[in-house]
Amino acid sequence: MLSVKGFCVLVVGFFLFPFGVYAQDFVWTPGLERAYEDLQKLKVQSARQALVKESSRNGVRIFLDDYADMLTLVTSDDEQVFADRSDREDERIDALKTLDDKSPWQRVLQAEVRLHWAFAKLKFGKEVSASWDVIRAYKLLTTNQKKFPDFLPTYKSLGTLHIMVGSVPDNYSWVASLLGLRGTIQQGQQELQRAQQDARFGLETQLIDLMVRAYVLKFSDADGRALQRLVKDNPDNGLLHFFGATIEQKNGHSEQALSFLAKRPTGPAYLAMPIVDNILGDIYLQKGQYGNASSHFQQFLNAYKGRNFVKDSYYKLFLCHWLGNDRSGQNEDKAKAFLQKVTTVGRTTVEADKAAQKFAEAYSKQGASPNQKALMRARLASDGGFTDSALAYLRTYNEAKFASLAEKAEYNYRMGRIYQRRNDADAAVPYLTRSLMLSESGEGRQQLSFGATAALQLGYIYQQKNDRSRARSFFQKALSFKHHEYKNSVDNKAKAALSQL
């Protein structure tokens, strides 16, 4: 029989904790903690094994189940798997909505699921649906911030979204405002710094912060050192090694990227990532090791089931044979066969595939002059940070040796970027300025990417020199170019730089 004391405890408990029934809705059990750590390391199989032992009503398990699906989808790019699992987004959102809405986790985990699927949908060319997921996630996170301002996990994704909104070009800012999206780069950076103090999501937030700096803002030497420490301190984290490599490659440090990939944990415990062979192919192509590069591109195409980076890989196989030395002419024939594939396979969702398609179409119409081989070798070497090789490729050339305005603009752009990567800004400025001028005149308007990218780099140079007026004018100039294959990334970076000024 229940004692009077026991009855009183129950009554007090009922009134003090009327929603105690929801106490188990969002619980990070030891098993779920291990599953989250495994997912961060790309150990998806062991994470799934841990998840099946947990309550299916626990919101944390629902979130981690979704995390596992997202990793599988974005690493495989398998359209059949995407089609089979696409219903799970609504199922999980509906399940999370039934849980305790007085918990700070309820809206955060809904937003995380929305963002998982936005990321996946972008990979599969579902841009409109992905955009609505981002908008819904943003509104969930801003509501959660108002209700629970001290809840740090909110700021991991909210900070990222505020940076993205803050870097939207001016001619599109009205769209963001109309949709209720507001934020600045400075605000987002402060929120990411705050989220890094969270014990659970701190590591993931550090990686996100570095990725934002690499792909939206300006990646500094200090950022590079921070990335290297992060990867070194987590030797069994496959995700860190992979994104560390992509960040370093993006910023012209392909030798460091190669080191990260060489030291990445591998084996049956880790999720297969065919895209790694595409990245390795890129690096060996930049180094001029065409046989090695070709082998990795072929391995990627053999293992990969998606449609992104397929055009890019066939284009790079073309380059391996086109740039390789072969007096018999057999390499040229093989090269052309690969280039013909570019226009018939894959899709143009990512910028690399768009660039491959543009090159293939131009080549089919007018071919390529012998000088373009030198420009291409210099471009690849410079992009990888191999500036000694890049200069050697162009040592016997000057602008007068190039016939078309497009080639003249590219020559000057390549020389400017080489010197810029060698930290010789004074030598870089005349070349980049000349490239910009050529790109704005006559035939050069067909090569708008050189003008836009030259203007962006000039903006960075004058920003570093603390010449704010010139920096601002060049960033605005970069935004003024209307049609080129790198417009999204150039505009985002230019707008972000203007916001920082």
What integer pLDDT is reported at residue 7 of this predicted model? 34
**Spatial CA neighbour of 141 closest among 193, 173, 92, 182:** 182
CA distances from 157 to 143, 435, 483 (A): 13, 38, 31
Q: For residue 151, report the phi and psi dihedrals to the nearest 5 degrees.
A: -85, 105
Which domains are delineated in the chain? Answer: 23-262 (1.25.40), 274-367 (1.25.40.10), 369-501 (1.25.40.10)
Band of residue 371 on the pLDDT scale cut at 50, 70, 90: confident
Q: Where are the alpha helices (DSSP H) in 287-309?
A: 290-303
Q: How many Å apart are CA 249 and CA 247, to the nearest integer?
A: 5
What is the pTM for the complete model shown? 0.85
- Work out the average pLDDT over 457-476: 93
pLDDT at residue 120 above 80? yes
Please write the tens of the pLDDT for every residue from 329-360: 567 778 889 999 999 999 888 889 998 998 89
What integer pLDDT is reported at residue 92 of this predicted model? 97
What integer pLDDT is reported at residue 169 of this predicted model? 60
pLDDT at residue 173 above 80? no
pLDDT at residue 183 above 70? yes
Please write the tens of the pLDDT for every residue from 229-253: 999 999 999 999 999 999 999 999 9
Band of residue 11 on the pLDDT scale cut at 50, 70, 90: very low
Burial class (CB in 10 A: 0-12, 13-18, 19+), 131: middle
In the numeric block, the tokens 């226009």 are attached to 343
- Work out the average pLDDT over 391-398: 93
Q: Taking a C-beta distance cutoff of 8 angstroms, is the pair 70, 113 a contact?
A: no
Token pair recorded at residue 282: 């890129």
- Work out the average pLDDT over 365-380: 87
